[in-house]
Amino acid sequence: MKVRHGAGRKNIQNDDSYRYESVASSDYDPADEVERGQSSRDNTSSTVKILEDHLRTFKRSNQTKFFTLFGLAVAIMLILYWAIDFDSRVSAKSCDTWADGFVCSPEIARYWGQYSPYFSVPSDIPPAVPDSCTITFAQVLSRHGARDPTFGKTIKYKQTINKIHDSVKTYSESFKFVQAYNYDLGADQLSMFGEQQMVHSGHKFYDRYRDLARNITPFIRASDQNRVVQSAFNWTQGFHKAWKDEHKDKKDSYPYEIVEISETWGQNNTLDHGLCTAFEISHTGEEAQKNWVDTFIPPILQRLNDNLPGANLSSEDAIYIMDLCPYETVHSPVGKLSPFCGLFTEKEWHEYDYYQSLGKYYGYGWGEALGATQGVGFANELIARLTSAPVDDHTSTNHTLDNSGNTFPLGAILYADFSHDNDMTSIFSALGLYNETQPLLKQTMQNAEEMKGYSASWTVPFGARAYFEKMSCAGEEEEHVRVVVNDRVLPLHTCGGDGLGRCKLSAFVDSLSFARAGGNWDKCFV
């Protein structure tokens, strides 16, 4: 465990230090963990060489661009610096907004599964705090911001593009850009767009809970992978800037402390799975996806090979080319839509979204026998925070941290935790948030409405955020709980939620019997 006063921050020397500054992603280290739950690691020497060659090329390319543009950039900055700060310059033309998330090309950008940038999900229940209620507690559980592909995926994407370039001599009109395309994505680190997403997320949290946040600094934790910690810090920048805009003459304790929980294999961590042996070797998500790939990919694959004669692409290659649409989009600082997106129809993007949803549901949710169990530890921590009682858990909680008031304070009213999409999927399952969702069909597509509000893009996009609220309402003796996932108020039928999505606190805790009993943790090591 580490406690940082703002990961990656510059030295704070004056009262203008709250202004947003892009946090430079650190150089990629091959020893870093790959995406959580990835079924295999390609550690052969040839694979590592491919990645190293790619990253060296990537760095040289960026260095050349840097020196070429440096002089021009300095001149521009001198003109603009005093007039417009960084946040304003990015946001003025960005597809990402602090209030509604990603607002460009919703007909496709909201169907990229977990690779969609956060957007405001439609809600049947108004997300505004009910008129008769006052928020007394708020916890955000957030995914990190948009990033480059993981270590393993960036190798595979590079190989796919190389195969096309090596094999194709004639490109059809709509595919001509591929001929000149240079794969220059890095590995694992936040993009500038992803950093800005998290600044916006912190701003939005402050705006929603300003009556509490005016005088309270959130208690913040992050799983200690680099992109997660940087996301937490970027979030604090947005929160603090929003606070500072209302308190220009006041000072607070910024930069805020961030408690980092180790992702070292075998360490107890409620924000990152890795302990449950039987779960870690499961492939149910991939198996479910394969069934759907066999249904929806063949016509796409045929069209790709017709337009890229000689490439002889596989179904896996077709998925990788689709992946490049969201990854190249969030690689743009302003979220400019990648030309790869135009290679596929809206219907095909809906099918792709379903493919990603199958992977999450059957890999980390109720579709996996031990999926929900991976979220039990966090669920029990949430109960402790809501009730101001010690954590009662024997699964993935770190007792050294949770037994200390410094690293797991009880009685606070604002909390912020930062994690991964896979872990959030397990946590949502452990909390019973999507219990009305029936097992997803593996050969027939369903939309989010048919899945009772469940889909990867609706639940765990880049920059996803779930708000757990406790509120006091007029005429009610007991406090209520409400859960808002990406601006969608969940109906909470498992605890008797009313028309406003509220459950009494005691009913909400009672409904979490699966988590309180430890889930199926006893089956992890058999």
Transcribe 423-446 into DSSP letters. Answer: HHHHHHHHTTTTTTPPPPPSSS--
Instruction: Report the alpha-carbon angle 444-447-451, nearest 5.
Output: 95
H or E stretch at 26: none
Assess contact for 419 and 142: CB atoms under 8 A: yes
Q: Please pick, among 54, 144, 200, 331, the residue that the annotation labels catalytic.
A: 144
Helical H runs in 33-81? 45-80
Residue located via tokens 């509490």: 212
480 catalytically annotated: no
Render the burial of 296-334: b for 16+ CB within 10 Å, e for the rest: bbeebbebbbebbeebebeeebbbbbbbbbbbbbbbebb
Specify which residues 466 forms β-bridges with: 141, 485
Entry field: residues in the chain: 526
CA 113 to chain centre: 11
What is the Cα–Cα distance from 265 to 299, expressed in whole angstroms? 41
What is the Cα–Cα distance from 142 to 140, expressed in whole angstroms? 6
Q: Which residues contact 206 (CB under 8 A, 6 or more apart)?
A: 213, 238, 239, 242, 243
Local structure of residue 143 (DSSP, 8 states): E
Residue located via tokens 């880049």: 462
CB atoms within 10 A of CB 97: 16
What is the Cα–Cα distance from 258 to 222, expressed in whole angstroms? 7
Residues belonging to the active site:
144
